[in-house]
Homo-oligomer: A and B are copies of this chain.
């Protein structure tokens, strides 16, 4: 490993519900408690989604504010990353929490297929989210579901829409998007380093790909997410 490993923990993705996994933390209090455990075990970044009272994904800035406040209190030094992903809201509502100035926020810069639908990140929304992150000094984690997303991030950094150095997460294992494929994983790293030499990267494997991707990320010098 050539760079220090940052262990990144995802608290409550946008998909699981209490019904399919009773262990998933849903309330803000549960989320803070489970993150604190991960933090004490060495996690340094928390990637955060929030839910409404019915347990549905939401981008409600008040929920995010409560989670952020609790994490800052109970996990001092933890990097808090709020999700601007598409399941929690539509259009600019996805970025309504950015004025809270979290340390980081996730940012998708392209569109791709998901298992049963199109994950839509239209160019004008991408640019608006990026401009909000610049305005509120929030560091983006670029979610790269495909190779062009990595290239697009480097173009946005080059023309000033994003502030460098880039931090890119390679996402693999999503049906109908990119599977866990080692030559492609290696080419992701190579392309990112070629187009943005100072960039850093991490990787997330979805579902069955999780263990494989963590393995590759650790071996190849990236950060991992659990």
**A interface list, Cβ under 8 A from B:** 110-124, 126, 145-148, 151-152, 155, 176-179, 181, 183-184, 187, 190-191, 194
**A152 CB contacts on chain B under 8 angstroms:** 113, 176
**Nearest Cβ distance between residue A28 and chain B, in whole angstroms?**
33
Q: What copy number does this chain have within its complex?
A: 2
- Contact across chains for B151 and A148 when beta carbons are under 8 A apart: no
Q: Bound complex: CA of A187 vs CA of B146, how far in Å?
A: 14
Q: Bound complex: CA of A111 vs CA of B112, how far in Å?
A: 5
**A179 CB contacts on chain B under 8 angstroms:** 151, 155
- Name the residue in A116, A126, A151 with the highest tally of chain B Cβ atoms < 10 Å from its Cβ: A151
Among B116, B148, B177, B178, point to the contact of A145 (Cβ < 8 A).
B148
- Name the residue in A117, A122, A148 with the highest tally of chain B Cβ atoms < 10 Å from its Cβ: A148
Q: What 8 new A-B contacts, CB under 8 Å, besides A111-B120, A146-B146?
A: A111-B112, A111-B118, A113-B148, A146-B147, A147-B178, A148-B177, A152-B176, A183-B190
Q: Closest chain B residue to A115 by CB distance?
A: B123
Among B112, B123, B187, point to the contact of A148 (Cβ < 8 A).
B112
- Contact across chains for B151 and A110 when beta carbons are under 8 A apart: no
Task: List the 3 closest A-B pairs by CB distance, nearest first.
Answer: A147-B147, A111-B118, A148-B178
- Contact across chains for A110 and B112 when beta carbons are under 8 A apart: yes
**A148 CB contacts on chain B under 8 angstroms:** 112-113, 145-147, 177-178
- Contact across chains for A113 and B111 when beta carbons are under 8 A apart: yes
**A184 CB contacts on chain B under 8 angstroms:** 147, 151, 191
**A120 CB contacts on chain B under 8 angstroms:** 111, 118, 120
